[in-house]
Structure 1
Amino acid sequence: MNETVVLTPERILEVTEDVLRRFGLAKATVVDVARALDVSHGSVYRHFPSKASLREAVAKRWLERVSTPLGKIAESSQPAPARLERWLRALFAAKQNRVLEDPEMFATYLTLAQEACKTVKAHKECLIGQLEQILSDGVKQGTFQLADVGETARAIFDATSRFHHPSHSDDWRDPQLAARIDTLLALLLRGLEVPRKR
Structure 2
Amino acid sequence: MARPDKAAAVAELSERFRSSTAGVLTEYRGLTVAQLKELRRALGEHATYTVVKNTLTAIAAKEAGVDAFDGQLSGPTAIAFVTGDPVEAAKGLRDFARANPQLVIKAGYLEGRTLDAAAITSLADLESREVLLAKLAGAMKASLTNAAYLFAAPLSQAARAVDALRVKRETETPAGQPEAAPEQAEQAGAETTEG
TM-score normalised by the chain length of structure 1: 0.29
Higher helix share: 1
Larger RCO of the pair (alpha carbons < 8 Å, separation 6+): 2
Decide which structure has the larger Cα Rg and report it.
2
